[in-house]
Amino acid sequence: MGALLQPTEGFAKRWMAKTSFKANIAGLLFSLIGQHYYLTLRHSVKKQNLEPQIRQYTEKNLRAWSEEQNKNSFRAKLFKPIRPFVERMAKWLNKKAAKAQKSK
């Protein structure tokens, strides 16, 4: 709990930790649920494919949870139309970074 709430830091860091606490707990829970699911119930997933599968499960469920939490907020309404563009840009940048990493 102390790692998530950062009780010994300054006011700004404590405030940021408190505001993101609920989302951090949700992410942690989705990650643990994904690990349990892929380690115990999905026997067709190989060990080297576990981490990407768990990460994908966590991101998908965390995105759905976050949208449900913020569906009526001003920020969500403002950024929802540009979200596909931002996701395409992130995908392109990740590909570019992976290509640069391979060439080194």
What percentage of residues in the chain have a pLDDT greater than 90? Answer: 35
Count of domains observed in the chain: 2
Determine the structural domain holding residue 91 and report its residue range. 73-104
Q: Is residue 85 located within the same domain as residue 102?
A: yes
| 34 C-beta neighbours (distance < 10 Å), count | 20
The verdict on 1 and 22 lying in the same domain is: yes
Query: What would the pLDDT profile of 44-57 be if each residue is shown by its tens digit?
Result: 778 888 888 899 99
User: In this predicted model, which residue has the larger pLDDT, 75 or 90?
Assistant: 90
Res 5 pLDDT > 80: no
Q: State the Cα–Cα distance between residues 46 and 39, nearest whole angstrom.
A: 10
Roughly what angle, to the nearest 10 degrees, separates helices 21-36 and 50-69?
140
Calculate helix-pair angle for 11-19, 21-36, nearest 10 degrees. 50
Residues 42 and 93 in one domain: no
- Counting every residue written for the chain, the total comes to 104
